[in-house]
Amino acid sequence: MFSVTDPAIRSYILYSSILALKVLFMAVLTGRVRYGKKIFANEEDAKFVKGKLKLDDPDVERVRRAHLNDLENIPAFWILGALYLTTGPIAEFACVLFRWYTGCRIVHTFVYAVKPMPQPVRGIVYGISYLINCYMAIQIIWHYSGAL
Amino acid sequence: MFSVTDPAIRSYILYSSILALKVLFMAVLTGRVRYGKKIFANEEDAKFVKGKLKLDDPDVERVRRAHLNDLENIPAFWILGALYLTTGPIAEFACVLFRWYTGCRIVHTFVYAVKPMPQPVRGIVYGISYLINCYMAIQIIWHYSGAL
Amino acid sequence: MFSVTDPAIRSYILYSSILALKVLFMAVLTGRVRYGKKIFANEEDAKFVKGKLKLDDPDVERVRRAHLNDLENIPAFWILGALYLTTGPIAEFACVLFRWYTGCRIVHTFVYAVKPMPQPVRGIVYGISYLINCYMAIQIIWHYSGAL
């Protein structure tokens, strides 16, 4: 019934992996700021590179907020995207949702943690990705509501 | 072997999606407190709605702790619930676990972030959901221990 | 096509569950420090066990950083490991990746939150697990790049 030759499933797999790589990349962004300013959260890290201990640097905290926002939203996409495919959506439409979700989350990271921009840019891309997650959740709940 | 007509799988899909929607809802709760008190974590957000910058507001932090607690527990449920179904549990029992897990996590959010209540209410619902996750993890590890 | 008798799938299921149990165990580590020092993040918790309220205890924060680092990396492994198996890797090699990933994350927790050790121990085990995640992500993206 489910096959990796199905275009919607292939799209889900591809975009989920791109998002995972994007989440992993946040560690590079945090590291770049930490090493650039020589500011660390652990004594053993500060000692190792002769940096100093600081837990409230605004530049580090900004990247960490962007990272946390990913964790609040992207694992939900991973599960919802997979379960949404079991409700039998139109393949082209599912692909559009996955593509937009991923695009918005990449722009979100860029305007949040790479090059901060005035609102409402971040709000808009966050909102679109958020609504896509909610839409998929509601579709699944509706489709399987008999299992309550 | 696995089919979306299986009652335990339908139950897993339904409750996983309800939990995902619940996690997404935390952003609404945080936003409600932020906009109510006009307190923001980013300069561009504060500027946009003429609020102020503050990172340690106790009401915002409470909701964020509830949100983080979700991230510590619910993605683990998503993976454990799915893998647990591959161990061939009794369908009715699996459904009961999924239903209780979801119910406890919803109550957890309510008594943590919506209407704070004295302990041990939150401790009890947290504990039940925690033990369900542990139970499923141990069952799976036991079942597949030959693959170590 | 995919069967729970496949050795690579069995390995994925086993190690994913071990990692889930490890993530859940972080709550025990945090609780141990909190109860040991009688330091809590919520008023109702402090009242319940006659402890005090404190949000910046260095020992608690260290365990929480280790926990957050898990959330930044392990859910990505859960999704990437599963999707990587759909690209048809050599079973033995996939098992090695899963085993090393899990081993490194367990050592990471130990040297971060149980018995802090000088760098670069934590950096090395973190780096290996990080590269395994990146490797799987790139393999999947490469394999499904036609679905862009």
pLDDT (tens place) for every residue of chain A, 148 residues total: 678 889 999 999 999 999 999 999 999 999 999 999 999 999 999 999 999 999 999 999 999 999 999 999 999 999 999 999 999 999 999 999 999 999 999 999 999 999 999 999 999 999 999 999 999 999 999 999 999 8
Residue in chain C closest to A44 (alpha carbons) equals: C118
Cis status, amide bond into C75, omega within 30 of 0: no
Neighbours of C33 (CB within 10 A): 18
- Quick check: C30 and B83 in contact, CB under 8 A? no
Scanning the structure block, which residue is given the tokens 């937009």?
Answer: A100
Tokens of C118: 């000088």
CA distance C54 to chain A (A): 16
Q: Please give the Cα distance from B90 to B95 (Å, whole number).
A: 9
Contacts of C14 in chain B (CB under 8 A): 140-141, 144-145, 147-148
Distances (CA, A) of B48 to A66, B59, B112, C106, C119: 18, 21, 29, 44, 42
Contacts of A138 in chain B (CB under 8 A): 21
Query: Residues in chain B with pLDDT < 50?
Result: none
Q: Please give the Cα distance from A103 to A15 (Å, whole number).
A: 9
Residue C35 CA from chain centroid, whole number: 24
* Listed residue (A112, A88, A75, A70) closest to A9, CA to CA: A88
Element (H, E) at A53: strand A52-53
The partner residues of B53 in beta bridges, in order of sequence, read B40
Find which of B79, B115, B135 to mutate to test the C interface (most C CBs within 10 Å of its CB).
B79
Query: In this predicted model, what pLDDT tens digit does every residue of C71-107 receive, in sequence order?
Result: 999 999 999 999 999 999 999 999 999 999 999 999 9
pLDDT score, position A1? 60
- Quick check: C43 and C98 in contact, CB under 8 A? no
pLDDT score, position A83? 98
Contacts of A67 in chain C (CB under 8 A): 72
Q: Please give the Cα distance from B55 to B53 (Å, whole number).
A: 7
Q: What is the ipTM of this complex?
A: 0.96
In this structure, is the dihedral angle defined by the CA atoms of residues A62, A68, A72 and A75, taken in order, positive or negative? positive
Distances (CA, A) of B124 to B29, B103, B105, C98: 22, 12, 11, 34
Instruction: Please tell me if residue B61 touches chain C, with a CB cutoff of 8 Å.
Output: yes
Instruction: Please tell me if residue B23 touches chain A, with a CB cutoff of 8 Å.
Output: yes
pLDDT in tens, chain C (148 residues): 678 889 999 999 999 999 999 999 999 999 999 999 999 999 999 999 999 999 999 999 999 999 999 999 999 999 999 999 999 999 999 999 999 999 999 999 999 999 999 999 999 999 999 999 999 999 999 999 999 9
